[in-house]
Structure 1
């Protein structure tokens, strides 16, 4: 009969052609030791799996002094972070001489957080390295914020190092190739300008885009040409326009800093003033004709009224003439009028 604290198990021994079934009893300590051994073997198997899978990345980070532990690689496996991107970013940062301090540098957890937030980790690292080489102040938090805001932080750094040229107007945006402005003497000038800008990294978040720069510069150019006395002054000194435009601070609250504004081309267009005067004269002529026609119509109407009054007066005269015989007859009957022969005989 087995003891309550013992565990019976069967071991099958194979020796040659004979099989023996041996029954043994194990103590609780042996059971715990066996379970612990199995658990250790399981852990070793798991660690071996992860070491085989991520050992190359860990060794690469170790040799590059990138400060990426195997535990961090295992954590990335469960948090759905691509360890290849993180390790490559840390290696590039370490080799470029950037701070990879776990407290205030480009740490592994910061890169993981940016990756999980949907950011472009490699683009941020490239931008920070480019800014570091160009001696432009740009830390990881600022670059990550710019990237998460939807801006291309690498393009911003490159534009800050190498200013780019913006056409004003931009045919790809507005479909127009020139700006149309009119001087005070009524001559149209068609202008095409080029604006050289560099990125203002401090105002990149929340700053206006290229469309605002193009709109402001176009408005300033048209206003400057419109205040000129005549088109000859503009054609002789186009730099007067650019100086006036630059003095207005058109890059305020934008993500760019205007380096220069250059007038690429000026063409003389139509004589808008003469055309407007001609149109105004024609309009005045039409108004005068309309007023004359109205007065003529009023005169005709008044003439017809006079004719109607004459006809009415004639009819009244006819009526009055018709009443004369009747009045004379009444006078004869009343004796107020006598015949001429009778008066003559009475007097003789």
Structure 2
């Protein structure tokens, strides 16, 4: 493992956490800083105490002089596919350091020691993080094989216009855009309907795993989309409002695509596609299914849709062809292996939840 030389801060040490005994300590560090503030207990219990893929790791940062635990970092086991083999990865999770102790060296020390432990028990480690965590990851020996691109499509323009134009101008401009521009782009107009059956569900449908199993999964790095994985990651971990759109030739028929969708916790009216899978697998996405997603989201009152993914060019092109525009990117950090960029298929399902 190539971890760059950075002198540790002697004021701190890291210790191995105990999942059951240190629960309240970790939640206390999270409180007010990261995660779903109204559901921190659920977030910890599902992720650390009831993971179906094995025991997560927990590393704590201790301030030597006071003996106080001032930081925490987890690593949860994730089933991944790479070159036709199932691997267990350590997903770096929930890095948090209390104010007054937030500097590069203690956080780097926490990441470095967790990575050493992770690579002793798992085939590789990875993480999706913000800019601050990314700066630590690069200094901690992680590489960036790919970047997830964020794509956004506006469905209703009124609120969008109000964010970028002042007062009455924003309200009037948004109304005009909704009335004029949307008419030419509505995917549900006659002649543009796909003829497919699309329906929402709040549960994991067995056809979702069946679609994943019969589709092309390639040799690149991607998540195992079993019913167990989907249930744990997409239903049991906290979300504001999550449900699934199933797209098929007819009601009850084998699926052509599915989308895991949730209400964005920070932008009212924005729907986030946490994950999606198509009959073309990692090779291609069905534009008709993406169009159905837009139609159903509009009918549900959504003002826009966002999706983050790193995928093959034909998959990205299908989203772009249906009006999704790139708006930023997020790096995938990996340690312990070089998955390359070819065939990699990564979405928000790989987030720590």
Could you say which TM-score interval applies, normalised by the shorter chain?
Answer: under 0.3
Structure 2 length-normalised TM: 0.18
Query: In proportion to residue count, which structure has more helix?
Result: 1
Q: Whose RCO is larger (CA < 8 A, sep 6+)?
A: 2
Structure 1 length-normalised TM: 0.19
